[in-house]
Structure 1
Amino acid sequence: MTEIAKPKPQTKRYLGLDLSLSPGLAVIDVKERVPTLVYAGSVATDTEINDATRSVVVESFIAHQVYAHLPFDVILREDFTAGRNKRATQTIFNAWAAADRALHSFGYVVNEVKPVLAPTTVKKLVAGNGKAEKKDVAEGVRKYLRLPSDYKFAAGYDDSDACAVILAYLIRESLIDTEADAA
């Protein structure tokens, strides 16, 4: 009797963006329903320089990380509807445009997932509370990625937030195992 070879488990690579003019970016691989952190980082832009220059820094940071970690299966970003004021809205959309330029340079676009990944949804899925503080989201990220409790995220937690965007999607779509799955 001939034995049929089982297919090898495939690894999927996810890119997550937490966009502002000081963005966070994360890369997470998933193999056999287990997420593994590949990269998490952020770049802080100087508020004393003009928005055009800050945008170039954001685009360069994202382009560099895309180049360093490609290829990607899914690219995600947290949804944004309105800022605290006109200025906040301008800076977020500036960062979105910079990210889109960087991604397009490599033939990528952000996957428009439905329902969108609203900030409260990301916090609820990763930290258990839609109004969670950044440190609580970071704690949830450490848990899902099996990182040590003393794993340091950047000041401002933009890198942790980028991880949380990916993890929220993976949890919502039942693409990774969670404690609830074990019960």
Structure 2
Amino acid sequence: MKILAFDTSMSSPGVVILEVKRNKPTILAVSHVKTDARQPHGLRAEIVEAWATVFIARHGTDYDVIIREDFQGRSSRQNHPVFSAWGAIDQALNKFGLNFTHPTISQSKVKRLVVGKGKAEKDEVEAAVRRLTGYIGEFATDDESDAVAVALAWAIDNGLIKR
């Protein structure tokens, strides 16, 4: 089972390919991109799309699950950048005939399933990700470990692995 999961934002989205074999999750690839907040949203969205396109081109299109974390901002000012990044990743996936295969998963559900509580700090999420995967490599940003947490949450919720 191969899971492609995104932690989507305009400033620094993250992505992971997580493979689950015999109830054991393994990180195959992880990445992120940083955009410059001084640039217009349109340009930043194009940068996110280009990054996602290159990641998919480099790692192939054979995924059983493609998922992303949900986002619910309080205002259009919060929502616009994130949903622009969502659209950019949608466009990258569509270039390869791919689309999200499952509904989004909420931030609190990701934390509850992976960490064991609905409110968790970034370091707690990373520690849980490392414990579940045995990953000893570097996460360049929290967005990378958050993307892994999204994939793990889906796998836990669907009975592929146990927390």
TM-score normalised according to structure 1 size: 0.84
Among candidates 131, 144, 158, match of residue 159 of structure 1: 144
Q: Is the 8 A contact 2:35 2:47 kept in 1?
A: yes
**Map of 2:50 onto structure 1:** 60
Among candidates 110, 114, 133, match of residue 121 of structure 2: 133
- 1:173 Cα deviation (Å)? 0.8
**Map of 2:8 onto structure 1:** 19
Give the aligned residue type for 1:66. Answer: I
**TM superposition outliers: structure 1 runs of 4+ over 4 Å:** none
Rounded to whole Å, the distance in 1 between the matches of 2:35 and 2:75 is: 20
Unaligned runs of 5+ in 2: none
Over aligned residues, Cα RMSD in angstroms? 1.3
**Map of 2:155 onto structure 1:** 170
Q: Look up the SS of the partner of 1:29 in the other structure.
A: strand
**Map of 2:90 onto structure 1:** 100
Rounded to whole Å, the distance in 1 between the matches of 2:113 and 2:107 is: 10
Among candidates 23, 26, 30, match of residue 33 of structure 1: 23
Q: Identity of paired residues, percent? A: 39
Encode CA deviations 1:108-139: one digit per residue, 9 max, x unaligned: 001123xx411000011111111001111011
Q: Look up the SS of the partner of 1:117 in the other structure.
A: coil
TM-score normalised according to structure 2 size: 0.94
Higher Rg of the two aligned structures? 1
**Map of 1:9 onto structure 2:** none
Number of residue pairs the alignment of both structures matches = 161
Unaligned runs of 5+ in 1: 1-11
**Map of 1:78 onto structure 2:** 69
Rounded to whole Å, the distance in 2 between the matches of 1:160 and 1:87 is: 26
Higher relative contact order (CA 8 A, sep 6+): 2
- 1:84 Cα deviation (Å)? 3.8
Encode CA deviations 1:9-67: one digit per residue, 9 max, x unaligned: xxx21100000112000111111221110111111100011111100110011111111
Q: Is the 8 A contact 2:65 2:102 kept in 1?
A: no
